[in-house]
Structure 1
Amino acid sequence: MQKAFSMIELVFVIVILGIIASIALPKLSLTRSDAQYTAIVADIQTIMSTIEQQYLVEDINPTQLNGDLIMESARLSSSRWIATNTGIRLAKNQAIDANNNCVFIDFNQTNLVVRIDSTIQTPLCQKLAKQYPKTLITPLENNTIKF
């Protein structure tokens, strides 16, 4: 009676594990990037609706609009976003994400502007550029609302 595996049996097990790993690992990384993409799209929608609502309800002075206001109002994760003087950017390790610096959410005068830089060639930025091919401009002027 044999009490151990033969060398050939161990080689077959290692080959099978390698095949499984080569199939599963790319799927896991795709799932992670899809989750990141979905979270960013949800954050963008939250930002747009929250800032517009807050601007209307609280009658915020345009000079008070900055990245900290966006972060606080939309309750964004500081692990994914970072505030700037005029808006917010994608973050990584508490700094602007150099690889995925394609999302620009800024205040300019009386508008909230969401722009995706389609020239950044990372998979995340390319997906976001397909989702948002044009710059989104939300006017934040009180006189734009007519009853």
Structure 2
Amino acid sequence: MKSAFSLLELIFAIVILGIVASFAIPKYIDTKDSALVSTIKRDLNTAVSSLQSYYLLNQKIEKISDVLTINDTNWTVSDTKISDKNSCVYLEVKTSQSENKSIEVVVDSQKDTTICKKIKEAKIVTASYELY
């Protein structure tokens, strides 16, 4: 007599693995999205603080990249603006003479992606911060 698994035992094992995966995969994706939102929130807070401090010392901000280094996995950086890869939120530095010198954080309320919904749930809102 051979010692091996029967076809029925293999089918049961595959069915059990499928059931476990049906619960685990959505939980994993939700956890990954929540981690991304936490990272975005942390990066925004750090960027605002760093930009305010830099402006206080130098009285100008020509490029955001002069002030801080931000992870380009999650962010797209231009001279005076950073935006997340999902286009749900962006931060812009406004220092022209005609405008109030400020940092604008804008959350796109029209986007309906999972990440954008989680950003709204995390209480990341459109706000303006003064540059002193």
Q: TM-score band, normalised by the shorter chain?
A: 0.7 to 0.9
- Residue 76 of structure 1 corresponds to 70
Deviation per CA, 1:62-87: give whole Å up to 9, x if none: 6x2xxxx3244232112211123431
Unaligned stretches of 5+ in structure 2? none
Secondary structure, aligned partner of 1:4: coil
RMSD in angstroms over aligned alpha carbons? 1.7
Task: Give TM-score, length-normalised by structure 2.
Answer: 0.85
- Residue 102 of structure 2 corresponds to 111
Cα contact 1:50–1:74 (8 A) shared by 2: yes
Percent of residue pairs identical: 33
2:122 is equivalent to residue 101 of structure 1: no
- Residue 114 of structure 2 corresponds to 123
Greater relative contact order (Cα < 8 A, sep 6+): 2
Unaligned stretches of 5+ in structure 1? 92-99, 143-147
Task: Give TM-score, length-normalised by structure 1.
Answer: 0.77
Q: How many residues align?
A: 126
Point out 4+ residue stretches in structure 1 off by more than 6 angstroms.
Answer: none
Sort the Cα spacing of 1:85 and 1:59 in 2 relative to 1 into closer, same or farther, 3 A: closer
